[in-house]
Chains A and B, each alone.
Chain A
Amino acid sequence: MTKEGLFLDGVTIALEGRVLVSLTCRVAPGEVLTVMGPSGAGKSSLLAYLGGFLEPAFTARGRALVDGVEITALPAEERHVGILFQDPLLFPHMSVAGNLMFALPESVKGRAERMRHAEAALAGVEMAGMGDRDPATLSGGQKARVALARVLVSEPRMLLLDEPFSKLDMELRQQMRMLVFSKARESGLPVLLVTHDEADAKAAGGEIVRIGE
Protein backbone atom coordinates (compact mmCIF):
# COMPACT_ATOMS: atom_id res chain seq x y z
CA MET A 1 0.00 0.00 0.00
CA THR A 2 1.38 3.36 -0.92
CA LYS A 3 1.52 5.99 1.75
CA GLU A 4 -0.09 8.93 0.11
CA GLY A 5 -1.58 10.62 3.14
CA LEU A 6 -4.92 12.38 3.36
CA PHE A 7 -6.52 14.04 0.36
CA LEU A 8 -9.56 16.28 0.84
CA ASP A 9 -11.09 16.58 -2.60
CA GLY A 10 -13.51 19.50 -2.81
CA VAL A 11 -15.05 18.84 0.58
CA THR A 12 -17.96 21.22 1.10
CA ILE A 13 -20.18 21.12 4.18
CA ALA A 14 -23.34 23.19 4.41
CA LEU A 15 -26.08 23.72 6.96
CA GLU A 16 -29.46 24.78 5.63
CA GLY A 17 -27.86 25.98 2.40
CA ARG A 18 -25.14 27.99 4.16
CA VAL A 19 -21.67 26.74 3.28
CA LEU A 20 -19.51 26.30 6.38
CA VAL A 21 -16.43 24.59 5.05
CA SER A 22 -15.07 24.29 1.55
CA LEU A 23 -11.69 22.68 1.36
CA THR A 24 -9.30 20.94 -1.02
CA CYS A 25 -5.88 19.96 0.29
CA ARG A 26 -3.37 17.21 0.92
CA VAL A 27 -1.77 16.11 4.19
CA ALA A 28 1.31 13.94 3.81
CA PRO A 29 1.92 11.01 6.16
CA GLY A 30 3.25 12.26 9.48
CA GLU A 31 2.26 15.83 8.65
CA VAL A 32 -0.36 17.95 10.44
CA LEU A 33 -3.01 20.11 8.87
CA THR A 34 -4.35 22.62 11.38
CA VAL A 35 -7.85 23.98 10.88
CA MET A 36 -8.59 27.11 12.87
CA GLY A 37 -11.67 29.19 13.26
CA PRO A 38 -14.14 30.58 15.80
CA SER A 39 -16.67 28.27 17.39
CA GLY A 40 -19.65 27.50 15.19
CA ALA A 41 -17.50 27.91 12.08
CA GLY A 42 -17.84 24.27 11.14
CA LYS A 43 -14.60 22.82 12.51
CA SER A 44 -16.41 20.07 14.35
CA SER A 45 -18.65 19.29 11.38
CA LEU A 46 -15.53 18.72 9.30
CA LEU A 47 -14.28 16.19 11.86
CA ALA A 48 -17.72 14.59 12.09
CA TYR A 49 -17.80 14.36 8.31
CA LEU A 50 -14.48 12.58 8.17
CA GLY A 51 -15.37 10.32 11.12
CA GLY A 52 -18.71 9.41 9.58
CA PHE A 53 -20.91 11.10 12.17
CA LEU A 54 -22.22 14.15 10.40
CA GLU A 55 -25.70 15.05 11.68
CA PRO A 56 -28.40 14.52 9.03
CA ALA A 57 -29.16 18.25 9.17
CA PHE A 58 -25.86 18.95 7.39
CA THR A 59 -25.22 18.30 3.74
CA ALA A 60 -21.77 17.44 2.42
CA ARG A 61 -20.23 17.15 -1.01
CA GLY A 62 -16.80 16.04 -2.16
CA ARG A 63 -14.75 13.15 -0.88
CA ALA A 64 -11.85 12.30 1.36
CA LEU A 65 -9.20 9.72 0.55
CA VAL A 66 -6.52 8.23 2.76
CA ASP A 67 -3.74 6.37 1.03
CA GLY A 68 -5.96 6.12 -2.02
CA VAL A 69 -8.97 4.70 -0.15
CA GLU A 70 -12.09 6.84 -0.34
CA ILE A 71 -13.02 6.73 3.33
CA THR A 72 -16.07 8.95 2.91
CA ALA A 73 -17.65 6.14 0.89
CA LEU A 74 -17.35 3.75 3.84
CA PRO A 75 -19.45 3.36 6.99
CA ALA A 76 -17.90 4.90 10.10
CA GLU A 77 -16.59 1.64 11.49
CA GLU A 78 -14.68 0.76 8.33
CA ARG A 79 -12.93 4.09 7.98
CA HIS A 80 -10.38 3.46 10.74
CA VAL A 81 -10.16 7.10 11.58
CA GLY A 82 -8.67 7.58 15.03
CA ILE A 83 -10.10 10.47 17.01
CA LEU A 84 -8.83 12.29 20.07
CA PHE A 85 -11.23 14.69 21.73
CA GLN A 86 -10.53 17.28 24.38
CA ASP A 87 -11.73 14.69 26.92
CA PRO A 88 -9.85 11.39 27.03
CA LEU A 89 -13.17 9.45 26.88
CA LEU A 90 -11.73 6.28 28.34
CA PHE A 91 -14.46 3.66 28.66
CA PRO A 92 -15.27 3.75 32.37
CA HIS A 93 -16.43 0.14 32.49
CA MET A 94 -13.12 -1.33 31.31
CA SER A 95 -9.68 -1.39 32.88
CA VAL A 96 -6.88 0.57 31.22
CA ALA A 97 -5.67 -2.57 29.44
CA GLY A 98 -9.28 -3.38 28.58
CA ASN A 99 -9.59 -0.03 26.84
CA LEU A 100 -6.54 -0.80 24.75
CA MET A 101 -7.57 -4.35 23.92
CA PHE A 102 -10.96 -3.05 22.85
CA ALA A 103 -9.16 -0.81 20.33
CA LEU A 104 -6.74 -3.46 19.04
CA PRO A 105 -7.58 -4.75 15.57
CA GLU A 106 -9.09 -8.22 15.48
CA SER A 107 -6.17 -9.45 13.42
CA VAL A 108 -4.19 -9.67 16.66
CA LYS A 109 -5.30 -13.08 17.93
CA GLY A 110 -5.12 -14.71 21.34
CA ARG A 111 -5.64 -13.12 24.70
CA ALA A 112 -1.98 -13.26 25.73
CA GLU A 113 -0.84 -11.75 22.48
CA ARG A 114 -3.41 -8.95 22.71
CA MET A 115 -2.38 -8.31 26.30
CA ARG A 116 1.25 -8.06 25.18
CA HIS A 117 0.32 -5.53 22.51
CA ALA A 118 -1.62 -3.47 25.04
CA GLU A 119 1.25 -3.52 27.55
CA ALA A 120 3.72 -2.49 24.84
CA ALA A 121 1.50 0.40 23.78
CA LEU A 122 1.22 1.53 27.41
CA ALA A 123 4.98 1.38 27.78
CA GLY A 124 5.22 3.57 24.67
CA VAL A 125 3.46 6.39 26.54
CA GLU A 126 5.35 5.77 29.80
CA MET A 127 2.44 4.00 31.42
CA ALA A 128 4.01 0.56 31.71
CA GLY A 129 2.38 -1.72 34.27
CA MET A 130 -0.76 0.40 34.62
CA GLY A 131 -2.96 -2.00 32.64
CA ASP A 132 -4.90 -3.23 35.65
CA ARG A 133 -5.91 0.22 36.80
CA ASP A 134 -9.44 1.60 36.81
CA PRO A 135 -9.33 4.58 34.40
CA ALA A 136 -11.23 6.70 36.92
CA THR A 137 -8.21 6.53 39.29
CA LEU A 138 -5.75 8.04 36.80
CA SER A 139 -4.60 11.65 36.75
CA GLY A 140 -5.58 13.94 33.90
CA GLY A 141 -2.23 13.58 32.15
CA GLN A 142 -2.24 9.81 32.53
CA LYS A 143 -5.72 9.59 31.05
CA ALA A 144 -4.64 11.67 28.06
CA ARG A 145 -1.70 9.37 27.47
CA VAL A 146 -3.82 6.24 27.71
CA ALA A 147 -6.21 7.79 25.19
CA LEU A 148 -3.29 8.40 22.87
CA ALA A 149 -1.96 4.86 23.30
CA ARG A 150 -5.45 3.54 22.69
CA VAL A 151 -5.93 5.37 19.42
CA LEU A 152 -2.47 4.39 18.19
CA VAL A 153 -2.93 0.73 19.01
CA SER A 154 -6.08 0.66 16.86
CA GLU A 155 -3.85 1.12 13.78
CA PRO A 156 -5.82 4.01 12.26
CA ARG A 157 -5.36 5.32 8.74
CA MET A 158 -5.24 8.86 10.03
CA LEU A 159 -5.76 10.93 13.18
CA LEU A 160 -8.39 13.53 13.88
CA LEU A 161 -7.63 15.81 16.80
CA ASP A 162 -10.50 17.87 18.20
CA GLU A 163 -8.80 20.45 20.45
CA PRO A 164 -7.18 17.57 22.30
CA PHE A 165 -5.01 19.72 24.54
CA SER A 166 -7.41 22.43 25.57
CA LYS A 167 -8.37 20.90 28.90
CA LEU A 168 -4.81 20.17 30.05
CA ASP A 169 -2.82 22.62 32.16
CA MET A 170 0.06 24.54 30.60
CA GLU A 171 2.92 22.18 31.36
CA LEU A 172 1.03 19.00 30.47
CA ARG A 173 -0.25 20.60 27.32
CA GLN A 174 3.26 21.14 26.02
CA GLN A 175 4.25 17.56 26.87
CA MET A 176 1.21 16.08 25.20
CA ARG A 177 1.65 18.13 22.06
CA MET A 178 5.16 16.81 21.71
CA LEU A 179 4.08 13.26 22.41
CA VAL A 180 1.10 13.23 20.05
CA PHE A 181 2.89 14.83 17.11
CA SER A 182 6.00 12.71 17.50
CA LYS A 183 3.92 9.52 17.72
CA ALA A 184 1.97 10.53 14.61
CA ARG A 185 5.20 11.16 12.78
CA GLU A 186 6.62 7.82 13.94
CA SER A 187 3.56 6.00 12.63
CA GLY A 188 3.42 8.04 9.47
CA LEU A 189 -0.19 9.11 10.07
CA PRO A 190 -1.68 12.14 8.40
CA VAL A 191 -3.20 14.35 11.10
CA LEU A 192 -6.02 16.84 10.96
CA LEU A 193 -6.00 19.14 13.98
CA VAL A 194 -8.87 21.40 14.84
CA THR A 195 -8.14 24.12 17.38
CA HIS A 196 -8.43 27.78 18.24
CA ASP A 197 -5.20 27.83 20.15
CA GLU A 198 -2.43 29.42 18.08
CA ALA A 199 0.17 27.62 20.15
CA ASP A 200 -1.26 24.28 19.02
CA ALA A 201 -0.91 25.33 15.44
CA LYS A 202 2.63 26.46 15.99
CA ALA A 203 3.61 23.23 17.69
CA ALA A 204 2.04 21.21 14.88
CA GLY A 205 4.27 22.94 12.44
CA GLY A 206 2.21 22.12 9.38
CA GLU A 207 -0.07 24.00 7.08
CA ILE A 208 -2.78 26.15 8.66
CA VAL A 209 -6.23 26.63 7.18
CA ARG A 210 -8.56 29.24 8.60
CA ILE A 211 -12.27 28.88 8.12
CA GLY A 212 -15.31 30.93 9.01
CA GLU A 213 -13.51 34.27 8.78
Chain B
Amino acid sequence: MLTRIVAATLFALAAISAHAEDVHPSDWQEVLEEARGQTVYFNAWGGAENINAYIEWAAGELEKRYGVRLVHVKLEDTANAVATVVAEKAASRDTGGSVDLVWINGENFAAMKQRELLFSPGWADALPNWRYVDHENKPTILTDFTIPVEGMASPWGMAKLVFFHDSARMDENALPRDADGLLEWAKAHPGRFSYPQPPDFIGSSFLKQVLLEKVEDPSVLQEPVVEETFEDVVEPLFAYLDALHPVAWRSGRIFPQNYPAMKQLLADGELDIIFAFNPSEASSAIANGELPGTVRSFTFPGGTLANTHFVAIPYNASAKAGALVTANFLISPEAQAKKQDPAVWGDPTVLALNKLDEEARARFEAIELGVATLAPDELGPALPEPHPSWMERLEEEWKRRYTAEN
Protein backbone atom coordinates (compact mmCIF):
# COMPACT_ATOMS: atom_id res chain seq x y z
CA MET B 1 0.00 0.00 0.00
CA LEU B 2 2.63 2.42 1.13
CA THR B 3 4.77 1.78 -1.90
CA ARG B 4 1.80 2.46 -4.11
CA ILE B 5 1.22 5.81 -2.46
CA VAL B 6 4.87 6.69 -2.84
CA ALA B 7 4.83 5.62 -6.45
CA ALA B 8 1.72 7.65 -7.13
CA THR B 9 3.24 10.67 -5.48
CA LEU B 10 6.40 10.31 -7.49
CA PHE B 11 4.39 9.94 -10.64
CA ALA B 12 2.42 13.07 -9.84
CA LEU B 13 5.63 14.95 -9.12
CA ALA B 14 7.13 13.72 -12.36
CA ALA B 15 4.03 14.87 -14.20
CA ILE B 16 4.28 18.31 -12.61
CA SER B 17 7.94 18.70 -13.44
CA ALA B 18 7.33 17.40 -16.93
CA HIS B 19 4.71 20.05 -17.31
CA ALA B 20 7.12 22.69 -16.02
CA GLU B 21 9.50 21.69 -18.81
CA ASP B 22 6.75 21.95 -21.29
CA VAL B 23 7.35 25.43 -22.68
CA HIS B 24 8.54 25.30 -26.25
CA PRO B 25 8.58 28.09 -28.81
CA SER B 26 6.40 26.03 -31.15
CA ASP B 27 3.42 27.26 -29.16
CA TRP B 28 4.52 30.87 -28.99
CA GLN B 29 1.26 32.20 -27.60
CA GLU B 30 1.59 29.97 -24.57
CA VAL B 31 5.21 31.05 -24.11
CA LEU B 32 4.15 34.70 -24.14
CA GLU B 33 1.43 34.08 -21.59
CA GLU B 34 3.67 32.17 -19.25
CA ALA B 35 6.47 34.72 -19.62
CA ARG B 36 4.35 37.62 -18.47
CA GLY B 37 5.35 38.59 -14.93
CA GLN B 38 8.49 36.42 -14.92
CA THR B 39 11.88 37.71 -13.86
CA VAL B 40 14.75 36.64 -16.09
CA TYR B 41 18.23 36.63 -14.57
CA PHE B 42 20.46 37.29 -17.58
CA ASN B 43 24.02 36.33 -16.73
CA ALA B 44 26.21 38.35 -19.02
CA TRP B 45 29.71 39.78 -18.84
CA GLY B 46 29.34 43.26 -17.37
CA GLY B 47 32.69 44.84 -18.06
CA ALA B 48 31.68 47.19 -20.87
CA GLU B 49 29.37 50.09 -20.20
CA ASN B 50 27.93 50.37 -23.70
CA ILE B 51 26.86 46.73 -23.58
CA ASN B 52 25.40 47.17 -20.11
CA ALA B 53 23.47 50.15 -21.37
CA TYR B 54 22.13 48.17 -24.32
CA ILE B 55 20.95 45.37 -22.03
CA GLU B 56 19.33 48.01 -19.86
CA TRP B 57 17.45 49.25 -22.92
CA ALA B 58 16.37 45.72 -23.83
CA ALA B 59 15.13 45.23 -20.26
CA GLY B 60 12.96 48.31 -20.57
CA GLU B 61 11.46 47.13 -23.85
CA LEU B 62 10.81 43.61 -22.59
CA GLU B 63 9.02 44.94 -19.53
CA LYS B 64 6.94 47.27 -21.67
CA ARG B 65 6.02 44.82 -24.39
CA TYR B 66 5.89 41.43 -22.73
CA GLY B 67 5.79 42.10 -19.01
CA VAL B 68 9.10 40.30 -18.63
CA ARG B 69 11.51 41.69 -16.05
CA LEU B 70 15.10 41.30 -17.24
CA VAL B 71 17.81 41.54 -14.59
CA HIS B 72 21.38 41.82 -15.79
CA VAL B 73 23.67 39.76 -13.56
CA LYS B 74 27.01 41.33 -14.41
CA LEU B 75 29.72 38.72 -14.61
CA GLU B 76 33.43 39.19 -14.60
CA ASP B 77 33.73 35.91 -16.43
CA THR B 78 31.03 33.83 -18.08
CA ALA B 79 32.59 30.78 -16.44
CA ASN B 80 31.03 31.99 -13.19
CA ALA B 81 27.54 31.44 -14.56
CA VAL B 82 28.54 28.00 -15.77
CA ALA B 83 29.93 27.32 -12.30
CA THR B 84 26.62 28.30 -10.74
CA VAL B 85 24.66 25.89 -12.91
CA VAL B 86 27.21 23.13 -12.32
CA ALA B 87 26.94 23.68 -8.58
CA GLU B 88 23.16 23.63 -8.75
CA LYS B 89 23.18 20.40 -10.68
CA ALA B 90 25.57 18.91 -8.13
CA ALA B 91 23.15 19.98 -5.39
CA SER B 92 20.29 18.40 -7.39
CA ARG B 93 18.58 21.71 -7.84
CA ASP B 94 17.03 20.70 -11.13
CA THR B 95 14.32 23.33 -11.13
CA GLY B 96 14.21 26.88 -9.90
CA GLY B 97 17.83 27.52 -10.92
CA SER B 98 19.30 30.96 -10.45
CA VAL B 99 20.46 31.49 -14.02
CA ASP B 100 17.76 31.96 -16.66
CA LEU B 101 19.74 33.14 -19.61
CA VAL B 102 23.47 33.28 -20.23
CA TRP B 103 25.58 35.10 -22.80
CA ILE B 104 27.87 32.43 -24.09
CA ASN B 105 30.02 30.83 -26.76
CA GLY B 106 33.21 28.85 -27.18
CA GLU B 107 34.44 26.70 -24.33
CA ASN B 108 31.63 27.73 -21.99
CA PHE B 109 29.01 26.64 -24.50
CA ALA B 110 30.90 23.45 -25.18
CA ALA B 111 31.16 22.74 -21.45
CA MET B 112 27.47 23.34 -20.81
CA LYS B 113 26.41 21.32 -23.81
CA GLN B 114 28.68 18.42 -22.97
CA ARG B 115 27.52 18.36 -19.33
CA GLU B 116 23.90 18.55 -20.47
CA LEU B 117 23.34 21.79 -18.61
CA LEU B 118 21.39 23.39 -21.46
CA PHE B 119 17.68 23.61 -22.05
CA SER B 120 16.99 21.01 -24.71
CA PRO B 121 15.85 19.84 -27.16
CA GLY B 122 16.91 22.68 -29.41
CA TRP B 123 14.62 25.68 -29.34
CA ALA B 124 16.48 28.53 -31.02
CA ASP B 125 15.46 27.63 -34.59
CA ALA B 126 11.80 27.52 -33.51
CA LEU B 127 11.79 31.12 -32.28
CA PRO B 128 9.50 33.34 -34.38
CA ASN B 129 12.34 35.67 -35.33
CA TRP B 130 14.62 32.81 -36.45
CA ARG B 131 13.23 33.38 -39.94
CA TYR B 132 15.41 36.51 -40.25
CA VAL B 133 18.63 34.82 -39.11
CA ASP B 134 21.38 34.49 -41.72
CA HIS B 135 22.40 30.92 -40.91
CA GLU B 136 22.98 30.17 -44.59
CA ASN B 137 25.89 32.61 -45.03
CA LYS B 138 27.17 32.73 -41.47
CA PRO B 139 28.23 29.17 -40.68
CA THR B 140 29.39 30.09 -37.15
CA ILE B 141 25.72 30.50 -36.21
CA LEU B 142 25.22 26.75 -36.59
CA THR B 143 28.67 25.59 -35.52
CA ASP B 144 30.30 27.28 -32.58
CA PHE B 145 34.00 26.56 -32.20
CA THR B 146 33.51 23.33 -34.17
CA ILE B 147 30.64 22.32 -31.84
CA PRO B 148 27.20 21.93 -33.51
CA VAL B 149 24.81 24.34 -31.83
CA GLU B 150 21.69 22.25 -32.51
CA GLY B 151 19.38 25.05 -31.50
CA MET B 152 20.52 25.01 -27.88
CA ALA B 153 21.67 28.62 -28.12
CA SER B 154 20.22 31.56 -29.99
CA PRO B 155 22.64 33.77 -31.94
CA TRP B 156 23.00 37.30 -30.67
CA GLY B 157 25.86 38.93 -32.53
CA MET B 158 28.84 38.38 -34.81
CA ALA B 159 32.45 38.88 -33.84
CA LYS B 160 35.62 39.28 -35.84
CA LEU B 161 39.09 40.12 -34.67
CA VAL B 162 39.92 43.66 -35.79
CA PHE B 163 42.93 45.83 -34.92
CA PHE B 164 42.77 49.52 -34.04
CA HIS B 165 45.45 52.19 -34.17
CA ASP B 166 45.60 55.94 -33.77
CA SER B 167 46.26 57.43 -37.21
CA ALA B 168 47.54 60.58 -35.54
CA ARG B 169 50.46 58.61 -34.15
CA MET B 170 50.98 55.88 -36.71
CA ASP B 171 51.73 55.76 -40.39
CA GLU B 172 49.03 53.88 -42.31
CA ASN B 173 51.69 52.21 -44.46
CA ALA B 174 53.56 50.81 -41.50
CA LEU B 175 50.61 48.71 -40.33
CA PRO B 176 51.45 45.03 -39.86
CA ARG B 177 49.81 42.62 -42.31
CA ASP B 178 50.09 39.44 -40.26
CA ALA B 179 51.26 38.11 -36.90
CA ASP B 180 54.91 38.13 -37.96
CA GLY B 181 54.57 41.68 -39.19
CA LEU B 182 53.09 42.59 -35.82
CA LEU B 183 56.11 41.13 -34.03
CA GLU B 184 58.48 43.05 -36.30
CA TRP B 185 56.54 46.23 -35.64
CA ALA B 186 56.60 45.60 -31.88
CA LYS B 187 60.36 45.15 -31.98
CA ALA B 188 60.65 48.49 -33.74
CA HIS B 189 58.27 50.12 -31.25
CA PRO B 190 58.94 48.54 -27.86
CA GLY B 191 56.30 48.96 -25.17
CA ARG B 192 53.49 49.86 -27.54
CA PHE B 193 51.71 46.55 -27.96
CA SER B 194 50.19 44.05 -25.56
CA TYR B 195 47.30 41.65 -25.23
CA PRO B 196 44.85 40.95 -22.40
CA GLN B 197 46.12 38.39 -19.93
CA PRO B 198 44.69 34.95 -20.71
CA PRO B 199 42.28 33.46 -19.75
CA ASP B 200 40.63 36.73 -20.74
CA PHE B 201 38.54 35.94 -23.79
CA ILE B 202 40.16 38.52 -26.08
CA GLY B 203 43.62 37.62 -24.86
CA SER B 204 43.08 33.92 -25.51
CA SER B 205 41.72 34.82 -28.94
CA PHE B 206 44.96 36.56 -29.72
CA LEU B 207 46.80 33.34 -28.86
CA LYS B 208 44.52 31.44 -31.23
CA GLN B 209 45.03 34.00 -34.00
CA VAL B 210 48.79 33.63 -33.77
CA LEU B 211 48.51 29.86 -33.51
CA LEU B 212 46.27 29.70 -36.59
CA GLU B 213 48.86 31.65 -38.53
CA LYS B 214 51.92 29.85 -37.24
CA VAL B 215 50.72 26.25 -37.02
CA GLU B 216 52.04 23.87 -39.62
CA ASP B 217 48.77 22.10 -40.30
CA PRO B 218 45.72 24.20 -39.32
CA SER B 219 43.40 21.24 -39.72
CA VAL B 220 44.57 19.72 -36.41
CA LEU B 221 42.97 22.67 -34.68
CA GLN B 222 39.54 21.64 -35.88
CA GLU B 223 39.84 18.45 -33.83
CA PRO B 224 40.11 18.17 -30.06
CA VAL B 225 43.60 18.52 -28.62
CA VAL B 226 45.73 15.40 -28.77
CA GLU B 227 47.99 15.55 -25.73
CA GLU B 228 50.87 13.70 -27.36
CA THR B 229 51.28 16.24 -30.12
CA PHE B 230 50.15 19.35 -28.22
CA GLU B 231 53.65 20.55 -27.36
CA ASP B 232 54.82 20.32 -30.95
CA VAL B 233 51.74 21.99 -32.39
CA VAL B 234 51.88 25.01 -30.07
CA GLU B 235 55.67 25.34 -30.12
CA PRO B 236 55.68 28.10 -32.78
CA LEU B 237 53.10 30.10 -30.81
CA PHE B 238 55.11 30.15 -27.60
CA ALA B 239 58.32 30.89 -29.49
CA TYR B 240 56.46 33.88 -30.92
CA LEU B 241 55.29 35.00 -27.45
CA ASP B 242 58.77 34.56 -25.99
CA ALA B 243 60.01 36.95 -28.66
CA LEU B 244 57.10 39.34 -28.23
CA HIS B 245 57.06 39.76 -24.44
CA PRO B 246 60.40 41.55 -24.03
CA VAL B 247 59.26 44.24 -26.47
CA ALA B 248 55.68 44.37 -25.25
CA TRP B 249 54.06 46.95 -22.96
CA ARG B 250 55.74 47.00 -19.50
CA SER B 251 58.21 44.56 -21.08
CA GLY B 252 55.58 41.85 -20.79
CA ARG B 253 55.81 41.88 -16.98
CA ILE B 254 52.12 42.61 -16.67
CA PHE B 255 49.28 42.54 -19.17
CA PRO B 256 46.05 44.51 -19.48
CA GLN B 257 43.19 42.67 -17.81
CA ASN B 258 40.80 42.84 -20.77
CA TYR B 259 39.79 44.78 -23.86
CA PRO B 260 38.35 47.87 -22.12
CA ALA B 261 41.62 48.21 -20.23
CA MET B 262 43.49 48.07 -23.56
CA LYS B 263 41.14 50.68 -24.97
CA GLN B 264 41.97 53.00 -22.10
CA LEU B 265 45.67 52.41 -22.75
CA LEU B 266 45.22 53.36 -26.43
CA ALA B 267 43.40 56.51 -25.36
CA ASP B 268 46.17 57.36 -22.90
CA GLY B 269 48.78 56.83 -25.62
CA GLU B 270 50.40 53.92 -23.82
CA LEU B 271 49.57 51.43 -26.58
CA ASP B 272 49.61 52.07 -30.32
CA ILE B 273 47.89 48.93 -31.60
CA ILE B 274 45.02 47.19 -29.86
CA PHE B 275 42.42 44.74 -31.06
CA ALA B 276 38.84 43.75 -30.36
CA PHE B 277 36.31 41.20 -31.43
CA ASN B 278 33.88 43.81 -32.62
CA PRO B 279 34.60 45.64 -35.90
CA SER B 280 32.76 48.79 -34.90
CA GLU B 281 34.07 48.92 -31.36
CA ALA B 282 36.46 51.78 -32.22
CA SER B 283 33.68 53.87 -33.72
CA SER B 284 31.54 53.31 -30.64
CA ALA B 285 34.42 54.36 -28.42
CA ILE B 286 34.96 57.49 -30.50
CA ALA B 287 31.25 58.30 -30.25
CA ASN B 288 31.48 57.89 -26.47
CA GLY B 289 34.50 60.14 -26.15
CA GLU B 290 36.62 57.24 -24.96
CA LEU B 291 38.96 57.26 -27.97
CA PRO B 292 40.15 60.19 -30.09
CA GLY B 293 38.50 60.65 -33.49
CA THR B 294 41.74 59.74 -35.25
CA VAL B 295 41.52 56.03 -34.36
CA ARG B 296 41.14 53.69 -37.37
CA SER B 297 40.72 49.93 -37.94
CA PHE B 298 42.64 47.32 -39.91
CA THR B 299 42.73 43.54 -40.27
CA PHE B 300 45.20 41.03 -41.68
CA PRO B 301 44.78 40.30 -45.40
CA GLY B 302 45.37 36.62 -44.60
CA GLY B 303 42.31 36.62 -42.36
CA THR B 304 41.45 36.97 -38.69
CA LEU B 305 39.49 34.92 -36.20
CA ALA B 306 35.68 35.13 -36.39
CA ASN B 307 32.82 33.68 -34.41
CA THR B 308 29.25 34.16 -33.23
CA HIS B 309 28.09 34.84 -29.69
CA PHE B 310 24.87 33.40 -28.36
CA VAL B 311 22.39 33.39 -25.52
CA ALA B 312 21.51 30.04 -23.97
CA ILE B 313 19.07 28.80 -21.32
CA PRO B 314 20.23 26.46 -18.52
CA TYR B 315 18.27 23.24 -18.09
CA ASN B 316 17.07 24.28 -14.63
CA ALA B 317 16.20 27.92 -15.41
CA SER B 318 13.34 29.32 -13.33
CA ALA B 319 11.91 31.50 -16.06
CA LYS B 320 12.29 29.54 -19.30
CA ALA B 321 9.37 31.22 -21.02
CA GLY B 322 10.71 34.63 -20.11
CA ALA B 323 14.15 33.60 -21.33
CA LEU B 324 12.69 32.44 -24.66
CA VAL B 325 10.86 35.74 -25.10
CA THR B 326 14.10 37.56 -24.33
CA ALA B 327 16.13 35.48 -26.79
CA ASN B 328 13.50 36.09 -29.47
CA PHE B 329 13.43 39.81 -28.77
CA LEU B 330 17.22 40.00 -29.01
CA ILE B 331 17.09 38.74 -32.63
CA SER B 332 14.23 41.01 -33.62
CA PRO B 333 15.25 43.35 -36.45
CA GLU B 334 14.67 46.31 -34.18
CA ALA B 335 16.89 45.07 -31.35
CA GLN B 336 19.56 43.90 -33.82
CA ALA B 337 19.60 47.23 -35.67
CA LYS B 338 19.94 49.16 -32.44
CA LYS B 339 22.77 46.86 -31.37
CA GLN B 340 24.64 47.46 -34.61
CA ASP B 341 24.57 51.22 -34.18
CA PRO B 342 28.08 52.21 -33.03
CA ALA B 343 26.55 54.97 -30.95
CA VAL B 344 24.90 52.19 -28.93
CA TRP B 345 27.12 49.13 -29.12
CA GLY B 346 28.13 48.49 -32.71
CA ASP B 347 27.87 44.73 -32.60
CA PRO B 348 27.29 43.25 -36.09
CA THR B 349 23.92 41.65 -36.73
CA VAL B 350 23.22 37.93 -37.09
CA LEU B 351 20.31 38.67 -39.43
CA ALA B 352 20.25 38.56 -43.23
CA LEU B 353 19.26 41.92 -44.60
CA ASN B 354 17.58 40.33 -47.63
CA LYS B 355 15.20 38.43 -45.36
CA LEU B 356 13.91 41.62 -43.78
CA ASP B 357 10.99 43.72 -44.89
CA GLU B 358 11.51 47.18 -46.35
CA GLU B 359 11.13 49.06 -43.10
CA ALA B 360 13.48 46.86 -41.12
CA ARG B 361 16.09 46.95 -43.83
CA ALA B 362 15.90 50.73 -43.93
CA ARG B 363 16.65 50.75 -40.21
CA PHE B 364 19.93 48.93 -40.84
CA GLU B 365 20.85 51.00 -43.85
CA ALA B 366 20.35 54.19 -41.90
CA ILE B 367 23.01 53.24 -39.37
CA GLU B 368 26.06 55.46 -39.55
CA LEU B 369 28.82 52.86 -39.19
CA GLY B 370 31.34 55.48 -38.17
CA VAL B 371 34.73 56.63 -39.42
CA ALA B 372 36.66 53.86 -37.75
CA THR B 373 34.57 50.94 -38.96
CA LEU B 374 35.64 48.90 -41.95
CA ALA B 375 33.00 48.06 -44.55
CA PRO B 376 32.01 44.37 -44.56
CA ASP B 377 34.11 43.74 -47.70
CA GLU B 378 37.20 45.30 -46.07
CA LEU B 379 37.13 42.94 -43.11
CA GLY B 380 39.14 40.26 -44.85
CA PRO B 381 38.67 36.49 -44.66
CA ALA B 382 37.24 34.86 -41.55
CA LEU B 383 39.40 32.23 -39.86
CA PRO B 384 37.35 29.51 -38.15
CA GLU B 385 37.70 29.07 -34.37
CA PRO B 386 39.63 25.98 -33.25
CA HIS B 387 37.93 23.31 -31.14
CA PRO B 388 37.28 24.68 -27.59
CA SER B 389 39.74 22.24 -26.07
CA TRP B 390 42.52 24.23 -27.71
CA MET B 391 41.52 27.37 -25.90
CA GLU B 392 41.49 25.55 -22.58
CA ARG B 393 44.87 23.94 -23.15
CA LEU B 394 46.39 27.13 -24.50
CA GLU B 395 45.23 29.03 -21.43
CA GLU B 396 46.60 26.34 -19.18
CA GLU B 397 49.92 26.31 -20.99
CA TRP B 398 50.11 30.10 -20.91
CA LYS B 399 49.45 30.02 -17.18
CA ARG B 400 52.09 27.36 -16.68
CA ARG B 401 54.70 29.31 -18.56
CA TYR B 402 53.89 32.87 -17.62
CA THR B 403 52.00 32.93 -14.30
CA ALA B 404 55.10 34.04 -12.51
CA GLU B 405 57.83 36.22 -13.82
CA ASN B 406 61.05 34.46 -14.49
Direct interface between A and B, CB < 8 A: no
Q: Which residues of B contact A (CB under 8 A)?
A: none
